Structure 1
Amino acid sequence: MLAGVGGPRAAQACLRSVPLTIPLRSRLLPAHPNPAIRIPRASLPPSQLRPFTSSRLLSADRTTPSSRTPDAILRPEPGPSSSSSSSSSASPPPRRKRLRPWLFIALGFGLGTMLRLTLSPPTPPAPGSDEDTYLSEQIRAQGSSLPLVQKLSTDPRYTSWDAYSGFSSPTTHTSKPHGGGSVVQSRITTGPLAGSRGLPFQRIYHDVATGEVVSVVYFGSGTGGWPGVVHGGALATLLDESLGRCAILRFPARTGVTARLELQYRQPTLTSGFYVIRARPMPDERDGPEKQARKLWVEGTLETVDGKTCVEAKALFVVPKGVKLKPLVEGF
């Protein structure tokens, strides 16, 4: 009819002007193969029809909450302080604390001073000077107040004395030796190692029943080999003398010489500190009384006042035959 009234072109214009509201669901549902069966197709009102855009394809969840919308993702979430009031401004980020320059300066100065004093310690006072005498008295007073010294001094099993106090009082290192002073100066620990720079404190404790000898000594700054560390030779000298004292006190002749000395250095011995030397006689039961009177093994250790072993020592002392040695007096 349309073609008869207006022709083909009029029919096409008429069809273009008529809006076709085909629901989206009707295009997706195929027609049933049996023409007798019809599938009801619900038509949606025009108000519910929405254009099919690419934004709906990007969203897998059609029930996306408003917080996942593109605007909400791009918009920064408000902090706790801004939730109370939308007009309040955001709080500034906390400032990072910076170390002050003076802290590094003080740290570097302290480390540098310690390194300088360790590698280049101050020169000790000259032996026999007033400063040396004063420092030696301070060291002896400090040594007498040690808990170990006080304990040994009150123990009735031990008799005590200062090293070589049985001889005459030592003269100064610079004076000419004479009389009894020459005997004291001939001992390395009371002659060249005298004064605050050497061995200003040597207290001896002897247990007559067991023969054990305990010596509490102080190593001055002049005994060092490496800076701040006592020389190994100085340790060997003092251990030889301390262990020899233990042996000579058991020999009836009250004299003897070192035949063998073995040392094992366990850890460094530091200068300007107190240490303890323990010497124990180790007689050989296979030797008779006559042989034990002329030969004796002695074991010893050099320890800190806290009991940490720095050096282990073992020595053999004998009374030589055919050589007349002057006996040592008590208190050597």
Structure 2
Amino acid sequence: MLAAGHRAAQVCLRSARLPLPSRFIHPNPTIRISRSSPVLSQLRLFTQTRHLSTDQSTNQSRTPDAILSPETTSPRPPRRRRWRSSLIFLILGISLGTALRFTLSPPTPPAPGSDEDEYLTTQIRTQGASLALVQSLSQDPNYISWDAYSGFSSPPTHTSKPNHTTVVQSRITSGPLSGSRGLPFQRIFHNPSSGEIISILYFGSGTSGWPGVVHGGALATLLDESLGRCAILQFPSRTGVTARLELQYRQPTLTSGFYVIRARPMADERDGPEKRERKMWVEGTLETMSGKTCVEAKALFVVPKGVTLKPLVEGF
């Protein structure tokens, strides 16, 4: 047993590389212990074990933060950064919630003819007149412009009936769809040399089918009217009806915004001059102010035979 302990002590001492005294001096001068004595080996083993137990107790008394190295500890974010992140998420949540509420349940538009409606209509018309495209076309000598159906407006006279409905009020786009909730702004630009028609208009919240999206029927009505205006201005009779209308909806048209309708006559070499006076294909697009196409249209307009239609006046 002493031999085994002696060997273990020698291994521990060699690994520690501790200097060993050549001779152990006992407190009693008459007793001398040699370096290779088993008693000295047991004493050295006891000393090493005591040191190990002391280190373990010291480590147990230390806190976990002190034991772990700085590389292994993850510093907590500053309190200011946490408050900033919470504030950003709060603002995003409120903004998204408000936008979703106004999209699914938009506010009720003002009643037609009310003071609020008149004020909003004036503001929209002022904003439309200041658009860069409107100002550019207004200064172009190749185009003439007017507000939609402004040629039908006439001041009331003493012979007018109290409940008489004017021509402007009877038109769907200038009567039921008038005011800030409908089509408060419709500016028409016509190029007599090319026959092109450019209409700049504003879709109010009352034209929506799905909340925030213009009804497809309202778009069809506006395109039919704009393309028909392009064809009728080419007919000598200044009248005509829609024979065919083709639409391709490319992307949703949102309410409360300005849009552009472009209409161009489609020349057909097979049709002679007499035929073009009574029949004409017109193509057009409804675009955003940035030029993105929302709807593509193509229509055929004819002057019916055997039916006398009243010619449309200038400025329709």
* TM-score normalised by the chain length of structure 2: 0.73
Partner residue of 1:317 out of 276, 301, 309: 301
Q: How far apart in 2 are the matches of 1:76 and 1:170? A: 94
Partner residue of 1:161 out of 138, 146, 153: 146
Within a 5 Å distance, the mapping from 1:273-284 to structure 2 comes to: 273-284=257-268
Partner SS for 1:225: strand
State yes or no: 1:328 paired with 2:312.
yes
Deviation (angstroms), 1:264: 0.2
Question: AA paired with 1:136?
Answer: T
Kindly provide the CA deviation profile for residues 220-260 of structure 1, in whole angstroms up to 9, marking residues without a partner as x.
00000000000000000000000000000000000000000
Q: How far apart in 1 are the matches of 2:269 and 2:77? A: 80
State yes or no: 1:221 paired with 2:205.
yes
Deviation (angstroms), 1:129: 1.1
Within a 5 Å distance, the mapping from 1:144-223 to structure 2 comes to: 144-168=129-153, 177-178=163-164, 182-223=166-207
Deviation (angstroms), 1:138: 0.4
Q: CA separation of 1:186/1:106 partners in 2, compared to 1, >3 Å: closer, same or farther? A: same
Q: CA separation of 1:287/1:77 partners in 2, compared to 1, >3 Å: closer, same or farther? A: closer
Deviation (angstroms), 1:99: 4.7
Give 1:143's aligned residue: 128
Structure 1 gap ranges (5+): 1-45, 52-70, 81-90
Asked if the contact 1:258/1:318 (under 8 Å) is kept, the reply is yes
Deviation (angstroms), 1:198: 0.3
Asked if the contact 1:203/1:215 (under 8 Å) is kept, the reply is yes
Partner residue of 1:132 out of 117, 139, 143: 117
Asked if the contact 1:162/1:331 (under 8 Å) is kept, the reply is yes
* Number of residue equivalences: 258
When Rg is computed on C-alpha atoms for both structures, the one with the higher figure is 1
Structure 2 gap ranges (5+): 1-33, 42-55, 60-65
Deviation (angstroms), 1:106: 3.8
Partner residue of 1:248 out of 229, 232, 240: 232
Give 1:303's aligned residue: 287
Q: CA separation of 1:187/1:218 partners in 2, compared to 1, >3 Å: closer, same or farther? A: same
Kindly provide the CA deviation profile for residues 83-138 of structure 1, in whole angstroms up to 9, marking residues without a partner as x.
xxxxxxxx994446535655544433322221111111111111111111111010
Deviation (angstroms), 1:78: 6.7
Give 1:267's aligned residue: 251
Partner SS for 1:238: helix
Kindly provide the CA deviation profile for residues 267-301 of structure 1, in whole angstroms up to 9, marking residues without a partner as x.
00000000000000002110111110000000000
Within a 5 Å distance, the mapping from 1:14-93 to structure 2 comes to: 93=75
Q: How far apart in 2 are the matches of 1:265 and 1:170? A: 40
Deviation (angstroms), 1:186: 1.6
Question: AA paired with 1:109?
Answer: I
Partner SS for 1:166: helix
Q: How far apart in 2 are the matches of 1:110 and 1:264? A: 34
Q: How far apart in 2 are the matches of 1:311 and 1:79? A: 63
Q: CA separation of 1:219/1:170 partners in 2, compared to 1, >3 Å: closer, same or farther? A: farther
Identity among equivalent positions (%) equals 74
Q: Which has the higher helix share?
A: 2
Q: How far apart in 1 are the matches of 2:275 and 2:264? A: 18
Give 2:15's aligned residue: none
Question: AA paired with 1:321?
Answer: K
Give 1:43's aligned residue: none
Q: How far apart in 2 are the matches of 1:322 and 1:77? A: 100
Deviation (angstroms), 1:316: 0.1
State yes or no: 1:116 paired with 2:119.
no
Give 1:289's aligned residue: 273
Q: How far apart in 2 are the matches of 1:92 and 1:261? A: 68
Q: CA separation of 1:108/1:319 partners in 2, compared to 1, >3 Å: closer, same or farther? A: same
